[in-house]
């Protein structure tokens, strides 16, 4: 265990005593930044509503030397007015709004110079992408400020944060100008895991079964803001009805805000996400182009990359193939739920979720989403089957039916290719009770292994792993399963 991991564990223990949920490694990383004796440029990014601002505010106890929050779709004049308002509060002056960001950063420079150099100076620019409005000159001014001045102020910790991940990646992380290779710390906030979600719900006085927590996760993902809206006086079903299907419910119009505030030309991004929502397994870049009518060029590649960087889309590499065979799959739970249930049902039946509990389509949706949950908890799966310390690659694999040879079409949604020359083919089944393998399904599994071996030519050992809610029933056909992972295993807290 290295020093960062040891620190993370210590911070985690302290935070658990204080009932702070998740973000163990992020806290440890910020601790390290605060101990450094050179200037720090800290990049905090991640999906909208994932808790970036909360993390920074919580860590610094909402006490900063200077804090500025960008406003969505506001002109430069309003952003600069917000800047000078904060400046006047901190300096007790009555300065007028600067005419440019160059002038604004000059004021910030003078202010920093007036502070005690023996104490950490923490500057927090929240929603920085929104400060960079059209022709504002913000980015160039910030580049100059940091390159010419900020990077040499040893006690300065400058935190930049925003939900528009693509802007932050392009303009800060991969900046080719004055900020090239200048950031000293990058924190990409991911949604809560199942275990963190359970901890969070318990902290709110919500004690549901892990089955219900998992279904809630399939709807909301581990997004702290969405989880914060849950009411402990209601059941899981009642909460979903109240938050999504009640007329003018809190989350009924979240979708438009989610994409249009993060991406320019939000409708184009939505068209890609919409097509991805229609397929369980995902689409290749070429298929996305065909279905959306978007040209197969660098613009489309950039859109897909931005969606991947922001956590909305998952790259599923095709086993044994090059990157061009990658399948892009909608990975954002809320977006998936929106297209399947909210888009055409919001406000029509206020008890829709409760009234469709036994719907066949609902069971199909739950099965598909459970596969997503499993892919988001690979560490827990590897831990349970005893290969956490073995290097592996995760991918998908499928082949079309071959009528001439009689080989059936086969799809494997999770292939774990291990360095120890073993391949795990994972079957993921979501059910209310133990899963039963009958004679027909046993034959299907054996045929699947045979087709996989034949088509891939692999010489590695091939093993079947079942990931289920309550396990596989022991019978004459269950012997084909070499490893099992249960729902409880997916709730295991990840060790750092």
pLDDT band at 178 (very low <50, low <70, confident <90, very high): low
Instruction: Look at residue 20 in the predicted model and tell me its pLDDT.
Output: 63
pLDDT over 70, % of the chain: 93
* Interval 190-201 mean pLDDT: 96
Instruction: Look at residue 16 in the predicted model and tell me its pLDDT.
Output: 39
* Interval 131-141 mean pLDDT: 92
CATH 3.40.1350.10 intervals, the chain: 379-490
* Interval 13-17 mean pLDDT: 43
CA–CA gap between residue 262 and residue 272 (Å, rounded): 15
- What is the number of other CB atoms lying within 10 angstroms of the CB of residue 453? 14
Instruction: Look at residue 323 in the predicted model and tell me its pLDDT.
Output: 64
Distances in Å between the Cα of 36 and the Cα atoms of 111, 113, 156, 182 are: 22, 19, 10, 15
Q: Does 303 score more than 60 pLDDT?
A: yes
CATH 1.10.10.10 intervals, the chain: 256-341
Does pTM top 0.85 for this prediction?
A: yes
Instruction: Look at residue 496 in the predicted model and tell me its pLDDT.
Output: 61
Instruction: Look at residue 302 in the predicted model and tell me its pLDDT.
Output: 92
Provide the token pair at 242: 């109240």
Q: Does 286 score more than 70 pLDDT?
A: yes
Q: What does 207-249 look like in DSSP terms, one character per residue?
A: ---HHHHHHHHHHHTT-HHHHHT--TTS-HHHHHIIIIISTT-
* Interval 77-102 mean pLDDT: 96
Q: Does 266 score more than 90 pLDDT?
A: no
Instruction: Look at residue 152 in the predicted model and tell me its pLDDT.
Output: 93
pLDDT band at 84 (very low <50, low <70, confident <90, very high): very high
* Interval 40-47 mean pLDDT: 93
The CATH architecture of the domain made up of 379-490 is 3-Layer(aba) Sandwich (3.40)
pLDDT over 90, % of the chain: 74
Provide the token pair at 160: 């930049």
**3-class secondary-structure state, position 411:** strand
Instruction: Look at residue 256 in the predicted model and tell me its pLDDT.
Output: 82
pLDDT band at 260 (very low <50, low <70, confident <90, very high): confident
* Interval 236-246 mean pLDDT: 94
**3-class secondary-structure state, position 187:** strand
Least confident of 131-135, 249-253, 390-394: 249-253
pLDDT band at 253 (very low <50, low <70, confident <90, very high): confident
Phi, psi of 156 (to 5 degrees): -90, 130
pLDDT band at 17 (very low <50, low <70, confident <90, very high): very low
Q: Does 485 score more than 90 pLDDT?
A: yes
* Interval 352-377 mean pLDDT: 94
* Interval 402-424 mean pLDDT: 86
CATH for 256-341, options being 1.10.10.10, 3.40.50.1980, 3.40.140.10, 3.90.870.20: 1.10.10.10
* Interval 23-36 mean pLDDT: 92
* Interval 192-206 mean pLDDT: 96
In words, the CATH class of domain 36-189 is: alpha beta
Instruction: Look at residue 407 in the predicted model and tell me its pLDDT.
Output: 74
The residues with which 395 forms a beta bridge, in sequence order, are: 415
* Interval 469-477 mean pLDDT: 96
Pairing mode, strands 410-418 and 392-399: antiparallel
| Tens-digit pLDDT profile for residues 322-344 | 666 789 999 999 999 999 999 88
CATH 3.40.50.300 intervals, the chain: 36-189
Instruction: Look at residue 329 in the predicted model and tell me its pLDDT.
Output: 95
What letters, b where the CB count within 10 A reaches 16 and e where it falls short, cover 219-241?
Answer: bbbbbbebbeebeeeeebbebbb
Q: Does 258 score more than 70 pLDDT?
A: yes
**Mean pLDDT of the chain, nearest integer:** 90
Helix axes 24-35, 3-17, angle to 10 degrees: 110
Which residue do the tokens 């990058």 mark?
186
């Amino acid at each position: 265990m290295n020093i960062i991991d040891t620190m993370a564990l210590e911070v985690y223990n302290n935070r658990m005593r204080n009932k702070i949920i998740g973000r163990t490694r992020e806290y440890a990383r910020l601790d390290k930044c605060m101990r450094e004796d050179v200037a720090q440029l800290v990049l905090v990014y991640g999906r909208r509503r994932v808790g970036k601002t909360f993390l920074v505010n919580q860590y610094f106890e909402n006490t900063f030397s200077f804090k500025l929050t960008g406003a969505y779709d506001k002109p430069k004049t309003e952003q600069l007015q917000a800047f000078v308002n904060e400046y006047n509060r901190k300096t007790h002056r009555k300065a007028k709004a600067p005419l440019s960001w160059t002038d604004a950063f000059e004021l910030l420079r003078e202010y920093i110079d007036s502070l005690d150099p023996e104490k950490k100076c923490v500057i927090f620019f929240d929603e920085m992408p929104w400060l960079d409005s059209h022709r504002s000159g913000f980015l160039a001014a910030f580049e100059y400020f940091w390159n010419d001045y900020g990077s040499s102020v040893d006690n300065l910790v400058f935190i930049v944060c925003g939900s528009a991940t693509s802007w932050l990646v392009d303009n800060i992380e991969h900046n080719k100008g004055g900020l090239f290779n200048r950031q000293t710390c990058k924190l990409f906030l991911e949604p809560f895991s199942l275990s963190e979600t359970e901890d969070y719900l318990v902290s709110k006085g919500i004690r549901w079964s892990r089955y219900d927590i998992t279904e809630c996760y399939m709807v909301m993902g581990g997004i702290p803001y969405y989880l914060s809206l849950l009411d402990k006086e209601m059941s899981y079903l009642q909460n979903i009805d109240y938050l999504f299907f009640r007329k003018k419910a809190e989350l009924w119009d979240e979708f438009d805000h989610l994409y249009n505030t993060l991406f320019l030309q939000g409708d184009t991004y939505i068209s890609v996400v919409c097509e991805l929502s229609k397929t369980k397994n995902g689409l290749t870049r070429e298929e996305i182009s065909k279905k959306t009518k978007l040209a197969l060029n660098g613009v489309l590649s950039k859109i897909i990359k931005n969606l991947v960087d922001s956590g909305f889309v998952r790259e599923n590499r095709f086993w044994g193939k090059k990157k061009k065979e990658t399948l892009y799959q909608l990975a954002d739970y809320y977006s998936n739920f929106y297209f399947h249930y909210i888009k055409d049902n919001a406000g029509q039946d206020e008890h829709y979720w409760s009234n469709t509990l036994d719907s066949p389509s609902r069971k199909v949706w739950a099965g598909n989403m459970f596969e997503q949950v499993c892919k988001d908890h690979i560490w827990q799966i590897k831990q349970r089957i005893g290969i956490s310390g073995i290097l592996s690659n995760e991918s998908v694999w499928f082949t079309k039916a071959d009528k001439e040879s009689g080989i059936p079409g086969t799809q494997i949604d999770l292939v774990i290719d291990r360095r120890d020359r073993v391949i795990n083919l994972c079957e993921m089944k979501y059910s209310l009770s133990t899963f039963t393998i009958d004679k027909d399904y046993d034959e299907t599994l054996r045929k699947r292994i045979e087709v996989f071996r034949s088509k891939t030519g692999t010489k590695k050992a091939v093993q079947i792993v079942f990931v289920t809610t309550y396990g596989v029933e022991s019978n004459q056909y269950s012997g084909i399963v070499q490893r099992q992972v249960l729902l409880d295993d997916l709730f295991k807290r990840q060790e750092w």
